[in-house]
């Protein structure tokens, strides 16, 4: 099992698995890295008026999901119900469930000399706000740093436990 597991002695306490905690933090590091990459792609394409599909670039969002990437809704729901009855536990961690495109309309700017201008002289640009993207990037960077610190603390705990065992 990863993370916390129900104690087999039935005394109500929870056993901790340090390696499961490192795994959970590692999953969060991967998810936040993906979030930062998507923000970087959004920023890089903020002025892209034509993609391979012939449309303006669409802003992308990362959707996180709890549990491991192999955890279906049914298994998570069953585990959650089992946790209430002390027969199972919910899988800890986070993963990227999907990267979805924003459905907002493109911004129209009047630029009749642009090669992508329509008949009325308007060009469709992606609806990307650099301020919003920077806030998202700061959040991803902060979360990445915190999870990195958690991994370092967990490694220190494991090292201390091994020292005690000597």
Q: Could you give the count of Cα atoms lying within 13 Å of 48 in the half-sphere of its Cβ?
A: 16
Main-chain phi, psi angles of 94, to 5 degrees: -145, 150
pLDDT at 5: 45
**Beta bridge mates, 64:** 96
Q: Is residue 12's pLDDT more than 80?
A: no
Cβ atoms 93, 27 nearer than 8 A: yes
What does the pLDDT read at residue 162?
A: 86
The whole-angstrom separation of Cα 138 and Cα 132 is 10
pLDDT, tens only, 113-152: 999 999 999 999 999 999 999 999 999 999 999 999 999 9
pLDDT at 85: 47
| Residue 77 reports pLDDT greater than 70 | no
pLDDT band at 11 (very low <50, low <70, confident <90, very high): low
- Please give the distance of CA 31 from its chain centroid, rounded to a whole number: 4
Query: What integer pLDDT is reported at residue 88 of this predicted model?
Result: 46
Q: Where are the domains of the chain?
A: 4-165
Overall pTM surpassing 0.85 (yes/no)? no
The predicted structure's pLDDT at residue 23: 86
With a cut of 50, say whether residue 3 has pLDDT above it: no
Is 147:25 a contact under the CB 8 Å cutoff? Answer: yes
> pLDDT at residue 38 above 90?
yes
Q: Read off the pLDDT of each residue in 92-96 and give the average, rounded to a whole number.
A: 84
């Amino acid at each position: 099992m990863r993370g916390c597991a129900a104690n087999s002695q039935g005394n109500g306490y929870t056993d901790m698995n340090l390696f499961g905690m490192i795994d959970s933090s590692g999953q969060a590091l991967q998810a936040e890295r993906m979030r930062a990459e998507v923000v970087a792609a959004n920023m890089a394409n903020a002025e892209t008026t034509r993609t391979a599909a012939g449309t303006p670039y669409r802003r992308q969002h990362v959707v996180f999901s709890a549990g491991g990437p192999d955890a279906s809704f049914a298994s998570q729901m069953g585990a959650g119900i089992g946790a209430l009855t002390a027969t199972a536990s919910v899988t800890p961690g986070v993963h990227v469930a999907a990267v979805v495109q924003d459905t907002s309309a493109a911004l129209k700017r009047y630029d009749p000399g642009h090669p992508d201008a329509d008949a009325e002289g308007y060009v469709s640009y992606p609806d990307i706000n650099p301020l919003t993207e920077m806030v998202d990037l700061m959040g991803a960077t902060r979360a990445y740093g915190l999870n990195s610190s958690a991994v370092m603390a967990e490694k220190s705990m494991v090292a201390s436990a091994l020292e005690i065992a000597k």
